[in-house]
Each structure stands twice: as C-alpha cells, then as structure tokens.
Structure 1
Amino acid sequence: MAADMFSKALEAQILQTAEIVEEQLDAEIQKLDEVDEDELEILKQRRLEALKKAQQQKQDWLSKGHGEYREVPSERDFFQEVKGSKNVVCHFYRDTTYRCLIFDKHLTVLAKKHIETKFIKLNAEKSPFLCERLRIKVIPTLALLKDGKTQDYVVGFTDLGNTDDFTTETLEWRLGCAGVINYSGNLMDPPFQSQKKFGATFTKLDKKSIRGKKYDSDSDDD
C-alpha cells in the first residue's frame, strides 16, 4: 500500500515537472513568434558580420605566418616577425640539445591549434646579440612576447613539471598563464597528469603569481 502511494506521488511530481517545462517552452516559442521580420533580419546581419570579421581575422593571421611552427633564419628576420604579430612564442634552440626536439613536437601541435599566436624558433648559436639582449642563458628557452615586447619566459622544463614527459596540454596551460594564447581552460587548475609525480614544485596558483616575472623558471642547461 505504501509503495503504491509513493509511486502515485512520484508520478504526480513528474507530471507537474513536465507541465512546468512545457510552459517554459511555450513561452520561448511565443517570444520567438513575436519577433518581427525586421528584428530577425538585424540579428541575421549581425551574425553574418561577426562571421565575416572572424574569417578576415583568420586570413590575416595566416598571411602573417600563423598556423605553422617555422624557423626564423636570422636575428633581423626575428624583429620583422615579432613586429607583425600581437602574440609570439619564440623557441631559442640549439641543434645539439635534445630537449629542444621535445619543444618542437609540442609547439608544432599548438601552432595549428592557436592561430591567434605566431610560433617560431631561432638558433641561439646564430643569434648572440638577441640572446644577450633578451638574457637567454638556458637552452631551450621560450620567449613569450606581446606587442613586440618580451613578457615572460619558459626556461627549460621547470615550469612544466621538471620532466621530459610533460604533455602538450601542460605547455598550453603555461602559455595561457602568460596570456600569449587564448586559453579556454582553468588557469588555476594546471592539467598535470599527476601532482604527486611532480612533487611539491606545483600547487594551486594564486592570482598574483599566475602572470609575469613572479613565475620565472631557473632550469639548468642541458
């Protein structure tokens, strides 16, 4: 008897919920019906303009060399590349340093994903003036630039968990912390595969240290 009463009460509650949802849907449909053709045309035009603007921006980025990870042949070319893009990630590498190949692998993936940012590499041995000017002392180092100015560095793999096995998502998160890519994840929650694996180096970040010089690395040369 008690089970029957419970069943009927549950059925009544489900029906009541369904009626409420149906009323909400009816209200939304009525609201759409009340929108006149002029308003619909305005909304349509705004949407088309937004899509057109986004497509133009994408083509502009691609014309400037975004969307692929490329090597810059000289220091002079570096300044020209940086001048033409708002966000730039530059990998200072050396042929004899194995860990530079690890960065190459991840940056190739991120260049295709984040076309809003230019990804380039420069041979540190052929760029003594630039390395001195930017204080590049550890190879590999990523210089992160915004509007032609260096904002941050990823020095070695210290910021990535002190391991050669860091994921592309981890590097993506680190670049997001510097604001040089459009990062859609939670910056306060690093995507490390295992916090224990990386020891006590990383904890939840506070807002004051998530950007800028307070988040520098001091990795050793290879």
Structure 2
Amino acid sequence: MAANAMVEKQLIAATQIIEHQLDSEINRLDNLESDDLELIRRERLVAMKKRQEKKQEWLVNGHGTYSELYDEKEFFETTKKSDHVVCQFYRDQFERCRLVDKHLEILAKKHFETKFCKINAEKAPFLTDRLKIRVLPTICLVKNGKTKDFIVGFTDLGNSDDFSTEMMEWRIARSDVIEYQGDLMTPPSAKSGPKTEVYRKKTIRGKNDDSSGDDDSD
C-alpha cells in the first residue's frame, strides 16, 4: 500500500509539473500571438492604405474599363502610366478581334490592377512593324514599360474560337501582368482531366519568326 501511495504521489506531482509547463507555454504563445497579430494588423493597414492609393491612381489612368487607344503616342503614354498593360492589336473587319473584345471587357472589370485596351493596327503602322505583328488578333502584354509577351491568334487559347474567358485570363496570367490565384501550370479546361502540355512562357520584345503569317480574316 505504501509503495502504491508513493507511486500515486509521484504521478500526481509529475502531472502537476506537466500542467504547469503546459500553462506556461500557452501563456507564452498567447503573448507571442498577440504581438504577432498586432504587427500583422499594422502591416495590413499599411498595405491596405497603399492599395487604396494605388486604386485611385489606377482609376485616374482608366483601369477597370476596356478602352481604345487612337494612336501610337497614346500607346506609349499608357505603358508609362500603368505598370501592367494588356493591349489587343485589331482590325475592324476581323470577327476574331471582336471575340477577343468580349473577353477583355470582362477581364478589365475583374482585374483593376491592369490596364486593358486595344489599338487599330492600321492606325499604328510604326508600332505594328516594330513589334513584328503579322497575325491579328495579337494581344501585347506589357510589364513595367517593357513588352513581355504576345498572345498571337488563338493558338495558346485551345486553338478554337469558343475558348472561355477563364482560359484567356489564365494565358494572360502566365505572363505575370495580372493578379491570379489559380494554378498557372494547368489551364482551366484541363483541371478536371489529365494534365496537358501548357504554353511555355517566353520573354520577348517582338513576335518570333515562326509565328509570322497572314492576317487572320475569318
């Protein structure tokens, strides 16, 4: 009996020590978490303030709408004012250009952080030649004043006229000119099935020679 009582006493003492240590650790974590939360709160407030200031700047620069640029000078001014620009080079008589319009109008409202616009290739001959644009529609993707990538025709969009806005969004996001939360390695149309080969992003200033061809007139 005496031995059992001693063991029980030791177990109680050990349990009390463990509980005390656990309480101390909980208090320490509570204090640490409180400090961290306060720091996170302050950082988030600063970030929110900067974001709001940025939104005001975007609003002044016409973000949130899909607008038309009327000449080459306006194109260069736009790429200087906005860090991220998505610009379609089009021609009025091309039906596929009008298809692109519909998708970019939707994305312009969703991605306020990026300037979405278009320019008639016939009114910008110098710029079209400089960027080596040969196929329409071509979407020029600009980041920090530099042409980063091009979406030429519908090849990167499933090579079909009935691609989704989500597919367009994913392809633009591959060039890092919009904020995107999805999987950049898998296009939307392939998420429910086996993975397909995806477009390999390239940093370019003009269109590759092997992409050149006649204008796409449906």
Post-superposition offset of 1:126: 1.1
Partner residue in 1 for 2:82: 85
Separation in 1, partners of 2:90, 2:33: 60
**Aligned with residue 114 of structure 2, among 107, 112, 117:** 117
Separation in 2, partners of 1:99, 1:115: 24
Pairs within 5 Å for 1:14-33: none
**Aligned with residue 63 of structure 1, among 60, 64, 69:** 60
1:114-154 superposed Cα distances (whole Å, 9 cap, x missing partner):
11111110011111111111111111110111122211111
User: How many residues matched?
Assistant: 189
Separation in 1, partners of 2:121, 2:201: 28
Residue 210 (1) aligns with residue 197 (2): no
Q: Residue 188 of structure 2: SS of its match in structure 1?
A: coil
Pairs within 5 Å for 1:33-52: 34=31, 42-52=39-49
TM-score where L is the length of structure 1? 0.73
Pairs within 5 Å for 1:183-194: 183-192=180-189
Q: Report the AA paired with residue 203 of structure 1.
A: T
Post-superposition offset of 1:37: 8.2
Q: Residue 151 of structure 1: SS of its match in structure 2?
A: strand
Determine which structure has more spread, i.e. the larger CA radius of gyration. 2
Post-superposition offset of 1:31: 6.0
Partner residue in 1 for 2:170: 173
Separation in 2, partners of 1:28, 1:132: 68
State whether residues 188 and 204 of structure 1, in contact with CA within 8 Å, keep that contact through their aligned partners in structure 2. Answer: no
Separation in 2, partners of 1:36, 1:158: 50
Percent identity over paired residues: 51
Q: Report the AA paired with residue 203 of structure 2.
A: G
**Does the C-alpha gap of structure 1 residues 73 and 32 become closer, same or farther in structure 2, counting only changes over 3 Å?**
same
Structure 2 gaps, min length 5: 1-22
- Please provide the CA RMSD for this pair: 3.1
TM-score where L is the length of structure 2? 0.75
